[in-house]
Each structure stands twice: as structure tokens, then as C-alpha cells.
């Protein structure tokens, strides 16, 4: 406290202004850090979405490979040998692109769940060649092969879903969840293609296949419902316009055949190849919607990043202006107060020096406490000046009286001297007359 008491008024005023300014600067730093962190997270998320597009491209091909594999195994290798071979080429192309993307992708920037899901997906993908070999040699059951592809695709989609943990922005989160629900629905459509192809290839229901088929349709509807709830009107309209036409109608017709048949039916009148082509065309339409969703997500993220950058710039600009205004106001207030106080000190020093100029007055430029104090000091100086003037006048009068008294004294002295001389003269003249 003693140090604070010994500080100048200007320093104390500076402290009063610096403390809230430092608090403001701290808040600005926190907000800047949070907004920058949000932008960085969104940039990281954008990279993950780009990787997700590579993943979904591969999943799209493995979905078709799964269907072709189901037909091939369902027919004991008699059907779809050439289709499966061509499809594997397309899958290999997407796999190579994804592996290249993995090499350029920094997993350490992401959550542990994302890393775990991605590691699981990679592990399953590494088994693809072994599964294919077993399929070629008919050493694997149809349902086991379908389960492998389904598990791998599901793991990849789970990886994409875990990307949602990277953001708290409601618009981005809604966009990601809409996308993921659509992917899950599309994956169920892919499984429907494989299961339906196997049923039509064998021309009968395998144990549990009818229930599985019905379940797939229900799951698709459920995920599509969630997708529609989370999507904006433009996306929903694009979906309705895109996923329509002859292929969609044909798939619905062949679906009804299976839904109306009982488990003992053995002749559906549908060629597995035709089913595969029609539902593949439908799934290709779904792929167009998927690509549009990916583009929409990236646009949403870019818009949020731009908004964050704009907000950060505006916030910094406004706060820098506020800080500058605070410093300017503080400077003027400090200068005003210290100037008034210095004038009072100079006036006091002038009065205490013994030969001060009592005609000087403090500048009264305000009506605040300092202005009142200056006026009182001026009043005091005026009273001192009046007192000195009166004293001086009295002194001058006393000097005049004193001079008059001195003159009178001299006159009296002269008179006394003359009177004494006169008396002596009269005495002498009297003696002379007696002697005569």
C-alpha cells in the first residue's frame, strides 16, 4: 500500500485504466483462440470429409462386388464370372486411390474413435484378396462372403460417422448426420442387391433370406427417414428428382414379387442378372445423391470457416478500436487531472516562496471537483491578495502618519529651541537694563 500511496496521480490513473484493458485483452485472446481452434477443427474436418469421399467411392464398388459375388456363389460359379472380374478391376482402382489418400492423411489429428474405426476398416480391407481367392475356388459360403463385405463396408461407414465428433457447429453436424444416414441406407440397398441376386440366382429362398430381405427394406426406410429429417429442402428435392425412373420402378416391381411370395416359392420369374442391373442402376442414382451430399457438406464447412474468419476479423477490429479509444480517453483524463494538480502545486509553491505573484489565477476549465478546487484556490489567493493590499495600504498610511509625526516633532523641536533662545535673550536684556 505504501508503494501505491507514493505513486503519482498519473500513474494511479494509468493503473485504473490498464486493469480493465488487460482484462479485455485477455478475453479477446481467449475468444481469438477459441475461434481459431474452431476454424482449425473445421479445416481438419474438411480433410476427413475429403477422405470420406474416397472411402465412399470404394464402398460403392465393394457393394457392387458383393452383389456380383453373391450371384457367382449362388450359381456355384456358373453365372457372373465375367461381371465379377470386371467389377474387381473397378474396386481395385478405388482401393488404390484410397490407399494413396491414406498415405497423405495424418490420423493423429483425429479422435481415438476415428483412428480405431479407420484401423479396423484397413484391417478388413487387407483381407479382400484372401476372400476373393476363396470365392474363386468356391471355398466360402455365400452368406459368409456377403457378411465379409457387409462388415467391411459397415466399418468404413462407421469411420465416416465418427467424423461428426470433430465439430460442435450445428449446421455442419446436421449435414454430416444427414450424409451418414444416407450412406447407411445406401449400404442396406447394396445388401438388398446381394441378397436379392442370391435369391433370384437360386430361384428360391435360402433359410432366413426372406426375413433378411424384409429387414433390409425396413432399415432402408428408417435411415432414409432420418436423412430427410436432417436434410434441407434443396437436398430432399434433389433426391426425389434423382432417384426416380424406370430402374427404380422395376426394382419396386421385383421387390413386390419377393414380398408376396412365401418361403416355399421356387419360381419367381426374374433373372438374377436383370435384377442386378436394375438395382445397380438405382444404386448409381443413389451415388449421385451421395456425391451431392459430399459437395454440400464441404460447402457448408467452407461457409462456416469463412464466417468464423469474418467474425474473428470483425471482433479484433472492434476490440482494437475500443482499446485505442480507452487509451485515448485515459490519456486525456490523466493529462487533464495532472495538469490541474500541477497548477495547484505551482500556485502553492508560488505562495510559499514569499514573493509570489498574487495576480496569477488557476485555469478553471471544468465544473468537476478539480474545477471547484481550482476556484477555491483562486478565492484563497484573492483573499490573500486583498489582505496584502490592505496591509500595504495601512503600511503606506502609517508611513505618512509617521512622516507627519516626524515633521511635527521637528517643528516642535524648532519651536522649543526658539523659545529657549528667546527666553535667554530676554533675561540678558533685563540684566543689562538693571545695570544701567
Q: Which among 109-118, 159-168, 404-413 has the top mean pLDDT?
A: 109-118
3-state SS class at 361 = coil
- Domain spans in the chain, listed from the N-terminal domain onward: 35-319, 359-436
Q: Which three cell numbers stand for residue 356?
A: 509570489
Q: Angle 246-260/272-352 helices, nearest 10 degrees?
A: 120
How many beta carbons lie within 10 A of that of residue 209, not counting itself?
19
pLDDT score recorded for residue 1: 59
Q: How confident is the model at residue 240 (pLDDT cuts 50, 70, 90)?
A: very high
Q: Which among 8-22, 199-213, 270-284, 417-431 has the top mean pLDDT?
A: 270-284
pLDDT score recorded for residue 423: 59
In terms of pLDDT, which residue wins out, 75 or 376? 75
| Alpha-carbon gap, residue 369 to 431, rounded angstroms | 91
At 222, phi and psi to the nearest 5? Answer: -65, -45
Instruction: Specify the pTM.
Output: 0.69
Q: Which of 307, 299, 318, 140 is nearest to 235 (CA)?
A: 299
Q: Which three cell numbers stand for residue 209?
A: 433370406
Question: For 1-5, 57-61, 154-158, which range has the lowest pLDDT when averaged over its residues?
Answer: 1-5
Query: Could you write out the DSSP letters of every residue in 41-59?
Result: HHHHHHHHHHHHHHHHHHH
Residues 14-46 have pLDDT tens digits of 777 788 888 888 888 888 888 777 778 788 888
Q: With 90 as the cut, is the pLDDT of residue 156 above it?
A: yes
Give the distance, in angstroms, between the CA of residue 25 and the centroid of all CA atoms in the same chain. Answer: 16
Beta strand residue intervals within 325-429, DSSP E: none
Contact predicate 71/197, CB 8 Å: yes
**8-state DSSP, 94:** H
Counting Cα atoms < 13 Å in the Cβ hemisphere of 230 gives 22
**8-state DSSP, 109:** G
Residues 267-281 have pLDDT tens digits of 899 999 999 999 999
Query: Could you write out the DSSP letters of every residue in 244-284?
Result: -SHHHHHHHHHHHHHHHS-TT-------HHHHHHHHHHHHH
pLDDT score recorded for residue 305: 81
Question: What stretch of H or E contains 403?
Answer: helix 369-435
Q: How confident is the model at residue 189 (pLDDT cuts 50, 70, 90)?
A: very high
Q: Rg of the chain over CA atoms, in angstroms?
A: 53
Residues 291-318 have pLDDT tens digits of 999 998 888 888 888 887 888 888 888 8
| Alpha-carbon gap, residue 231 to 250, rounded angstroms | 27
**8-state DSSP, 219:** H
Contact predicate 48/163, CB 8 Å: yes
Amino acid at each position: 500500500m505504501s508503494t501505491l500511496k507514493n505513486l503519482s496521480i498519473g500513474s494511479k490513473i494509468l493503473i485504473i485504466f490498464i486493469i480493465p484493458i488487460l482484462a479485455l485483452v485477455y478475453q479477446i485472446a481467449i475468444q481469438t483462440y477459441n475461434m481459431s481452434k474452431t476454424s482449425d477443427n473445421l479445416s481438419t474436418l474438411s480433410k476427413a470429409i475429403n477422405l470420406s469421399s474416397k472411402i465412399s467411392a470404394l464402398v460403392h464398388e465393394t457393394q457392387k462386388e458383393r452383389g456380383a459375388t453373391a450371384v457367382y456363389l449362388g450359381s456355384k460359379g456358373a453365372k457372373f464370372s465375367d461381371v465379377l472380374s470386371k467389377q474387381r478391376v473397378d474396386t481395385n482402382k478405388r482401393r488404390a486411390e484410397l490407399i494413396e489418400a491414406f498415405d497423405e492423411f495424418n490420423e493423429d489429428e483425429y479422435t481415438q474413435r476415428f483412428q480405431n474405426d479407420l484401423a479396423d476398416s484397413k484391417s478388413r480391407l487387407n483381407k479382400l484378396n484372401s476372400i476373393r481367392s476363396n470365392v474363386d475356388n468356391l471355398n466360402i459360403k455365400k452368406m459368409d462372403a456377403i457378411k465379409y463385405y457387409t462388415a467391411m463396408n459397415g466399418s468404413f461407414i462407421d469411420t465416416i460417422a465418427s467424423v461428426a465428433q470433430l465439430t460442435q457447429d450445428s449446421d455442419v453436424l446436421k449435414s454430416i448426420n444427414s450424409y451418414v444416414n444416407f450412406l447407411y441406407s445406401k449400404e442396406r440397398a447394396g445388401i438388398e442387391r446381394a441378397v436379392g441376386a442370391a435369391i433370384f440366382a437360386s430361384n428360391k429362398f435360402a433359410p432366413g433370406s426372406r426375413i433378411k430381405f424384409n429387414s433390409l427394406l425396413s432399415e432402408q426406410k428408417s435411415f432414409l427417414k432420418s436423412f430427410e429429417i436432417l436434410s434441407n429442402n434443396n437436398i430432399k428435392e434433389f433426391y426425389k428428382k434423382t432417384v426416380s425412373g424406370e430402374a427404380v420402378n422395376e426394382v419396386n416391381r421385383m421387390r413386390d414379387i419377393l414380398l408376396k411370395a412365401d418361403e416355399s416359392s421356387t419360381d419367381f420369374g426374374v433373372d438374377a442378372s436383370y435384377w442386378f442391373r436394375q438395382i445397380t442402376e438405382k444404386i448409381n442414382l443413389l451415388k449421385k445423391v451421395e456425391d451431392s451430399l459430399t459437395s454440400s457438406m464441404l460447402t457448408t464447412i467452407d461457409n462456416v470457416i469463412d464466417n468464423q474468419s469474418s467474425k474473428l476479423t470483425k471482433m479484433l477490429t472492434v476490440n482494437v478500436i475500443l482499446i485505442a479509444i480507452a487509451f485515448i480517453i485515459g490519456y486525456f483524463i490523466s493529462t487533464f487531472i495532472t495538469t490541474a494538480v500541477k497548477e495547484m502545486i505551482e500556485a502553492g509553491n508560488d505562495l510559499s516562496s514569499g514573493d509570489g505573484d498574487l495576480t496569477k489565477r488557476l485555469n478553471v476549465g471544468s465544473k468537476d471537483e478539480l474545477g471547484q478546487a481550482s476556484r477555491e484556490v483562486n478565492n484563497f489567493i484573492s483573499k490573500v491578495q486583498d489582505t496584502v493590499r490592505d496591509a500595504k495600504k495601512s503600511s503606506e498610511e502609517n508611513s505618512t502618519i509617521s512622516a507627519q509625526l516626524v515633521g511635527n516633532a521637528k517643528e516642535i523641536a524648532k519651536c522649543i529651541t526658539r523659545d529657549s533662545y528667546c527666553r535667554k535673550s530676554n533675561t540678558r536684556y533685563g540684566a543689562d537694563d538693571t545695570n544701567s
